[in-house]
Structure 1
């Protein structure tokens, strides 16, 4: 028996089982013993299957969109667990509303879970654009692929989605950073991603001499992390930089207040380099970042 086609979801098509050298008699024997469960015609689940994947298949589809992204280990924004995210062909129905795309709908499925690019295509119908871009950032950053590779993987896409791909940035290091970047750029700010600052290292975002650090939900895993970041902030302030450190809740739930504070700073031009020393400081950061290939 071949195991080369084993699925991490524990859900298989009949074709996949046959490719692993399971014949009809073996399949029926495994069903009788409880080692295989028939989810729907031509689809089966092993004992150790992923329950969410099995639910999508049992409901006449396959897992896609944010649920598939989560299955593959991608960063996903909060608040999208209320319903099952699946896609199914037009001739099938079920109790869950299927995720859809306006252009380039997939007509076949080789596996119970869509690959990340296809899941991202379907997620464009369920996620706000800033959150979609954040997930795309996470994908191209973690896999070392590029926007061109993502386009190829998604196949035919809408003009709207194509524009969203153009706004992805592989340099982004976290979902919260991505969301903040997209929102600030939408407000017209000239945002630099992962600038290199002498004596400080890399920060998340920069607007002029204003440094913006975007902490994730569990960012400070230790006291050492906490102490290190406060030392960095102090050094940046001494050298002439301004620093705002944003929490996960600030970005996800309190953005209006954050934006008001940034507008207060930039509205008074406190983020601008007004002296030759500050101008040189920013120019050196630009050069350091370019040299480091970021």
Structure 2
């Protein structure tokens, strides 16, 4: 694979490619390889450190910077912390937050480690770490949360509702957003359970909107406009009559 390097037949192709290029897999490529949510990018990201000898193919991304205290996971993988720091300097802030949320939610990154990474990040990138929320269980939830907060509208994540269980998000008092990605919502049993939950939410006077991955990741301007039309009409808030019925002061 490279002079002085040998690989087992089971070695992942992404790691083989990075080592052949003269480095280790990092940034989006590593974090996606580890099962985290990422906004897809076709390029391979390779950490090269201070090496001047490399064989990057056209379209691949080389990362030369080293981060103090952030070592490598293996001979073919960069450290998670280093990959996250490369990430925040490489992609759009919302895209980076999607992946960092996922790292926290899966336990690949701890809250304490996140504070350390914030201190190491370039000054202009440190603010994005304050907008991370590891309770989000998918990149779809992260995207909708970030948009809602940019509009200065209250949004809560993974909220328990009696008789329903946890819902992905509640905007304001009663506008429930459920994000149905194909990776996580499939099968007839889940379909029936989702409809049971929707009916119970309606009985309790919540307004439930289900969004799929295309609406959030590919058609967000149209989706956002529809959602915030509801907000402008104040349909995300309890009416006075609903407050009385539910005993809300």
What TM-score do the two structures reach when normalised by structure 1?
Answer: 0.74
**Unmatched segments (≥5 aa) in structure 1:** 1-37, 285-294
Q: Secondary structure at the match of 1:113?
A: coil
**Unmatched segments (≥5 aa) in structure 2:** none
CA distance in 2, matches of 1:94, 1:283: 64
Q: Which residue of 1 aligns with 2:126?
A: 162
Q: Kindly indicate whether the alpha-carbon contact (under 8 Å) linking 2:201 and 2:207 is maintained by their aligned counterparts in 1.
A: yes
**Alpha carbons of structure 1 residues 270 and 253: separation in structure 2 relative to 1, 3 Å:** same
CA displacement at 1:120 relative to structure 2: 1.4
**Alpha carbons of structure 1 residues 249 and 283: separation in structure 2 relative to 1, 3 Å:** farther
CA displacement at 1:50 relative to structure 2: 1.8
Q: Which residue of 1 aligns with 2:2?
A: 39
| Structure with greater Cα Rg | 1
Q: Which residue of 1 aligns with 2:44?
A: 84
Q: How does 1:92-241 map to 2 (within 5 A)?
A: 92-96=53-57, 97-100=60-63, 104=67, 111-143=75-107, 145-152=109-116, 156-208=120-172, 209-241=174-206
**Alpha carbons of structure 1 residues 165 and 43: separation in structure 2 relative to 1, 3 Å:** farther
Q: Secondary structure at the match of 2:120?
A: coil
CA distance in 2, matches of 1:52, 1:134: 22
Q: Secondary structure at the match of 1:212?
A: strand
Q: Which residue of 2 aligns with 1:8?
A: none
Deviates more, 1:243-252 or 1:196-205: 196-205
Q: Secondary structure at the match of 2:7?
A: strand
Q: Which residue of 2 aligns with 1:58?
A: 20
Q: Kindly indicate whether the alpha-carbon contact (under 8 Å) linking 2:71 and 2:82 is maintained by their aligned counterparts in 1.
A: no
CA displacement at 1:154 relative to structure 2: 7.5
Q: Kindly indicate whether the alpha-carbon contact (under 8 Å) linking 1:99 and 1:122 is maintained by their aligned counterparts in 2.
A: no
**Alpha carbons of structure 1 residues 102 and 115: separation in structure 2 relative to 1, 3 Å:** closer
**Alpha carbons of structure 1 residues 101 and 125: separation in structure 2 relative to 1, 3 Å:** farther
Q: Secondary structure at the match of 1:244?
A: strand
**Alpha carbons of structure 1 residues 155 and 166: separation in structure 2 relative to 1, 3 Å:** closer
Q: Secondary structure at the match of 1:206?
A: strand
CA distance in 1, matches of 2:187, 2:203: 25
CA displacement at 1:108 relative to structure 2: 7.2
Equivalent residue in structure 1 for 2:217, among 245, 248, 252? 252
CA displacement at 1:267 relative to structure 2: 0.8
Q: Which residue of 2 aligns with 1:273?
A: 238
Aligned residue pairs, count: 244
Deviates more, 1:176-185 or 1:138-147: 138-147
The CA RMSD over aligned residues, in Å, is 2.8
CA distance in 2, matches of 1:106, 1:131: 25
